[in-house]
Chain A
């Protein structure tokens, strides 16, 4: 990837519709991440999950203007994936250790199914599974697609902007309550906001 393409990709990632640059990143880096995860004892599914979370982390870093370009996109991206996979491996080792410790004292214990990558994306999706379709669309429209209240009023059948604002506020309150109940996710999001 040359410098011009590099810049173009970073700019494209800052737009609301990121499908095209995400597809380009998939095409360029997925094979490397797949090979890395498999060479270090993971499965193809693990690699796909790690890649998805690496992509999420990378896009958020770029959107927040925190990617300074001191290394190439590839180096940066692969290092995120390696970091996530190492964390996952450590987490699995700890689970395995707990399992072994428990087995020494309780023969009836049944092993859990093989764990998949514990990732932030699962926590995020869980919150949105509980807030309902209208709230999902409304919050995405306002905060992700950066639509104005006027544009959203055209999209949703509410009487006026004030009613829409009330609805958005209720939806956000619900999202905050769900978020507050997931301490790990909340801390992870806060740390992304307040740490470089």
Chain B
């Protein structure tokens, strides 16, 4: 049995230049006892060499990658710390989602005003704030607006003028 000839047939089979049937007949003619096992072992050996070559490339890149320290992100350093960090991130994400939902609801509410209502509310708020200095009891006007259900005017007033914060304790 000539190993070189057998290998040549098996290489041709592995390269797809011979069918398994053709290779099988030739190998039988060369005296190979268990053709199927010979083919499988050869293919596994070729696979082994290919994987070793691939592994060397991966290891070269891995060394470079680890040397740069890119992968040691703070979030993934220590196991306990990373779990806490992961939880904190999840809580922050949940809070952000709730805020977004609240914002969306707020925008929806604003959008549901009748035509010009928002502008009117803003004007009311502006007049309340600008008249505050001269008015005897500007808070009363705001409380009255609040009691009349004109909530956006009171909120807008508070937003437009930080000093209007003092109205809130008077809110019913």
Contact = CB atoms under 8 A, between A and B. Distances in A.
Contacts, number: 137
Given A60-B51, A173-B3, A180-B41, A27 B70 contact: yes
A39 B51 contact: no
Interface in A137-162: 139-140, 142-145, 162
A31 interface: yes
B57 A19 contact: yes
Nearest to B53: A144
29 contacts: A19-B61, A22-B57, A23-B65, A26-B71, A30-B70, A30-B71, A34-B71, A35-B76, A56-B54, A56-B58, A60-B54, A63-B50, A124-B48, A125-B55, A136-B52, A140-B49, A144-B52, A165-B4, A166-B4, A168-B7, A169-B7, A175-B49, A176-B41, A179-B41, A180-B41, A186-B44, A192-B47, A193-B40, A194-B40
Nearest to A139: B49
B75 interface: yes
B62 A140 contact: no
Q: Is the interface of B mostly helix, strand, loop or mixed?
A: helix
Interface residues of A, number: 59
Contacts of B49: 139-140, 142-144, 175
B52 A125 contact: yes
Interface in B19-35: none
Interface of A: 16-19, 22-23, 26-27, 30-31, 34-35, 38-39, 41-44, 47-48, 51-52, 55-56, 59-60, 63, 120-121, 124-125, 127-128, 136, 139-140, 142-145, 162, 165-166, 168-170, 172-173, 175-176, 179-180, 185-186, 189-190, 192-194
A48 B69 CA distance: 12
Interface stretch (B77-85, B121-129, B142-150, B151-159): B77-85
B65 A52 contact: no
Given A39-B82, A44-B77, A165-B4, 9 more contacts: A27-B65, A34-B76, A38-B79, A43-B79, A52-B58, A125-B52, A139-B49, A145-B53, A176-B41
A140 B54 CA distance: 10
Contacts of B73: 31, 34
Contacts of B58: 22, 52, 55-56, 59
A51 B77 CA distance: 16
B79 A56 contact: no
Contacts of B64: 23
